[in-house]
Copies of this chain bind each other. A is one copy, B any other.
């Protein structure tokens, strides 16, 4: 129990001033003479005083913590390094401010909504990061109703009072498709992410648009839940057809890696028989065989930007949206010229 034994009262007594004045001095507020301020700070330092977060929380009605609630299927969560990187990025901005991150991992949407309510009813957090945006996302009106500041990771498809950090996935998908077309591919399929998630459906429509712009007929798309298992299933379906695609654009890397496995299992050579591309450039991509051609994104940059924006919002009541640079295609060995176009 080495928790703050020394309180503001001790400092006040030692300095011969009131607790109020000490508080003012410590919080750098005007109305304290320079010499008093210096003396008070000195005494606080000497006494080893550190503020009681609990007392400050009670009187200021703030919790000095930010929240993140993740409602992904554990399987999808585990195979995708987005959140670890994102969180590491967030922490770089929270830690210096003495703010903590409260994390919830919940199994379903009902629990998720309940969790947000509990978070504000308990006054656990001063703001939250909203990730994995969905169509007509019910969390946005909920948070608005709860009066909880938030920043959304991605641009919502509905009216939103919250600033957003977004990155356009379109250029990365378009670049991927153009690259495949330039290699000679004409039958290109897409293993899409969850259509309920904005980034899932946006990557998909980017794919459709890119094909059209290349003058190709619409390609096959298979919807998944972004999981490795679903990616493998989709790849199997696509590749065991009569006239299989010569290239598959996967909406994320874990599914693409599963696709690589399926191709090998079916005795297909990558990229000779089928080219495979991913999205995100997770660490695995460099070490599978052939190494995965994919689009690089930077989750920790999202984390940093989101953290800064949320702080901004809480401090000033408003904060500008942030557009992160679009991901670029990283060319490796998993895509190449089709042997039988």
Which A residues are within 8 Å of any B CB, using their own CB?
Answer: 1-4, 50, 52-55, 57-58, 61, 63, 65, 74-75, 77-79, 81, 83-85, 87-88, 91, 95, 98, 100-107, 111, 115, 118, 120-124, 145-147, 227-229, 231-232, 254, 257-258, 260-265, 282-284, 286-291, 300
Contacts and interface: CB of A to CB of B under 8 A. Distances in A.
Contact of A85 (B78, B87, B289): B78
Given A54-B58, A95-B111, 12 more contacts: A2-B147, A3-B121, A55-B58, A58-B58, A79-B284, A102-B103, A227-B283, A228-B287, A254-B284, A258-B287, A262-B287, A262-B289
Number of this chain's copies in the complex: 2
Given A61-B3, A123-B52, A261 B289 contact: yes
Contact of A265 (B81, B102, B289): B289
Contact of A102 (B52, B101, B105): B101
Contacts of A54: 54, 57-58, 61, 63, 123
A260 B284 CA distance: 12
Contact of A100 (B81, B102, B286, B290): B102
A184 to B, nearest CB: 24
11 contacts: A2-B145, A4-B121, A79-B284, A95-B115, A100-B102, A101-B104, A231-B287, A257-B284, A258-B284, A258-B287, A264-B289
A54 B62 CA distance: 9
Given A100-B102, A104-B91, A123-B3, A260 B283 contact: no
Nearest to A100: B102
Contacts of A257: 284, 287-288
Contact of A57 (B57, B61, B104): B57
A65 B104 CA distance: 12
